[in-house]
Structures are given as structure tokens and as C-alpha cells.
Structure 1
Amino acid sequence: VPSHSPDQIGELACFKAYDVRGKIPTELNESIAFLIGLAVAEYLEASAIVIGYDVRHSSPGLVESLSRGISQAGAEVMNIGLCGTEEVYFATNFLDTDG
């Protein structure tokens, strides 16, 4: 089980100008994904957040951790599965979610 302590995640090089991405596992990993899910859901005071993922081998673990963080903050996770970024944008609007 990965640690979710902020002291254990190191520098957050995964935050770019317009998105979150990075080399797995040094810049982005399951611990960071959990904390991002928790922080975003808390910041938005969200009741529901849409997530989707791509075909990379790291996606299942990142999605699981992100989902746990969102859920721990009290928001519903609406996982639309394998999709493109534009589909996440569409689902967020169509399903009237907070993020």
C-alpha cells in the first residue's frame, strides 16, 4: 500500500501550466494521484467528479488511487472508462458534475 503522506511524495513536478502529467513513478504515482483526488474534491466542495483514463499500463493504479482520494473527500466518482480528454470535458458538462 503506497504512503499518502505529503512528506513521502517529494517535489510535485507533475503540475504543468494546464494539466497534470509526469514520468511514472518519479513525477506521478499512486500516492500523488490519491492526494490530487482528495485536494481537488475538497477544493471544489464537489458532490461528483468525472474521471477517465487512457491505454497506458499505469492508468488502472492511478485511477484507483485518484478515485479513493475523491471518495474520501465525500464526492461521487463517475468513472467513464477508457476515453479521450474531450470525452471527459463532455461528460463533466453533460452529467452536470463539479469536475
Structure 2
Amino acid sequence: MTKVNKFRKLKQENGTHNSFGVTLQVSGYTELNMMVSNLLKASIILLNEDARNLSSLTAVTDTNVVNLLEIALQLLPEEEMDLLDDLHKIHLKAL
């Protein structure tokens, strides 16, 4: 097993044994924003009672929604938001 390098998708995070990262390729912040928005919209739809009544897999649906929301949280570009706040303050001063 040590000679076989087939496990390439997960990248170990900071030398920890139980935390891994996955690279997600996007064309830019617009696509990233759309992905997060679509994950949130899908979660809203799945939490809608009418949609839930159409599914006999309520427990599975709950798990899926939690998973979608966790992914959306991880995709939000937090550090970049700080930069946008700073740029907005500069813009307001220039007015």
C-alpha cells in the first residue's frame, strides 16, 4: 500500500491525521458566489415543508441539508470579505 499513490483527492491539513482539504476549482469569485448561493437555495428548498412532504427520506434529507450548509460555510471567502470592507472604506473616503 505504501508504494501505491492512488489516494490523491484528499490533502492532509497541517500535519494532522484527521483533517483533510479538497481542492475545488472555480473560474473566479463570481462562480464561487454562485456555488454558495445555489447550495443555500437547495437547502432552503429541501427545508420547505411542501418539498419535504414529497420525500419519504426525511432523515436523509436532514443530513443532506446539514452537509450542504457545511459546504457553503467552508466556501465563503472570509478573508476576502475583510479586503472588500477595507476597499469599501477607501471608496467612501474618496467620495
Same fold flag (TM > 0.5): no
Which is richer in helix?
2
TM-score (norm 2): 0.23
Which is richer in strand?
1
**Which structure has the bigger radius of gyration?**
2
Higher relative contact order (CA 8 A, sep 6+): 1
TM-score (norm 1): 0.22
